[in-house]
Amino acid sequence: MGIPRKLNELDYASGEFIRCFDSLSQAADFHNISTMNIWTSITKNNGRMNNLKLRFQYAEDYIPRTQCKVKQLDYYTGEEIEIYNNLEEAALDNFVSVRYLRDAMDKRNGYMRVKKLRFEYIEVRYGK
């Protein structure tokens, strides 16, 4: 399960703030609709649900993990070796695929046993 993101309900016509929800599921429960309907409206319809006259947006700007800074650590001691601006840059510099690096970060705490590499997110930011 991901990190819950705050969600704002806006006035359908004017776009003015009405209320804030702690998560997408809380907003869905409040309006008695499915979370998938809200998520689809945000990603595909600019937050508008035309049939119910509702409008939503995420409360903060989201920065995907692939865009977060990454630091390379020594495999054994954990000392910092280099800092990269994103996952793609780290993968290219170390001759591995972005998917392999992302899987190592998500599933193996940043360890890549075969290549003897170790990485860590510097920051996972939500908002600016």
Q: Given a cut of 60, is residue 88 above it in pLDDT? A: yes
pTM value surpassing 0.85: no
Write down the pLDDT at residue 128. 41
Write down the pLDDT at residue 91. 92
Write down the pLDDT at residue 16. 86
Judge if 11 and 49 occupy the same domain: yes
Any domain includes 111: yes
Query: Residue 16's domain spans which residues?
Result: 7-58
pLDDT tens profile 32-65: 999 999 999 988 888 899 889 999 988 876 566 7
Give, as one character, the DSSP assignment of residue 126. B
Judge if 70 and 111 occupy the same domain: yes
Any domain includes 79: yes
Write down the pLDDT at residue 96. 94
Judge if 71 and 117 occupy the same domain: yes
Any domain includes 2: no
| Total tally of structural domains belonging to the chain | 2
Judge if 30 and 47 occupy the same domain: yes
